[in-house]
Chain A
Amino acid sequence: AQSVTQPDIHITVSEGASLELRCNYSYGATPYLFWYVQSPGQGLQLLLKYFSGDTLVQGIKGFEAEFKRSQSSFNLRKPSVHWSDAAEYFCAVGTYNQGGKLIFGQGTELSVKP
Chain B
Amino acid sequence: NAGVTQTPKFRILKIGQSMTLQCAQDMNHNYMYWYRQDPGMGLKLIYYSVGAGITDKGEVPNGYNVSRSTTEDFPLRLELAAPSQTSVYFCASSKGGQGGGYTFGSGTRLTVV
Give me the interface of A with B, judged by CB distance under 8 Å: 4, 9, 32, 34, 36, 42-46, 49, 51, 90, 94, 96, 99-107
Q: List 13 A-B contacts (CB under 8 A).
A: A43-B90, A43-B104, A43-B107, A44-B104, A45-B104, A46-B102, A51-B100, A96-B98, A99-B50, A100-B100, A101-B48, A101-B58, A104-B43
Closest 4 interchain pairs by CB? A43-B104, A104-B42, A104-B43, A106-B42
- Taking a contact as CB atoms under 8 Å apart, the answer to whether B98 and A101 are in contact is no
| Residues of B with C-beta under 8 A to A44 | 43, 90, 92, 102, 104
Interface presence of B94 (CB below 8 A): yes
Chain B interface residue number, banded: 20 to 34
Give me the interface of B with A, judged by CB distance under 8 Å: 4, 31, 33, 35, 40-45, 48, 50, 56, 58, 90, 92, 94, 96-98, 100-107
Shortest CB–CB separation between residue A94 and chain B, in angstroms?
6
- Taking a contact as CB atoms under 8 Å apart, the answer to whether B43 and A90 are in contact is yes
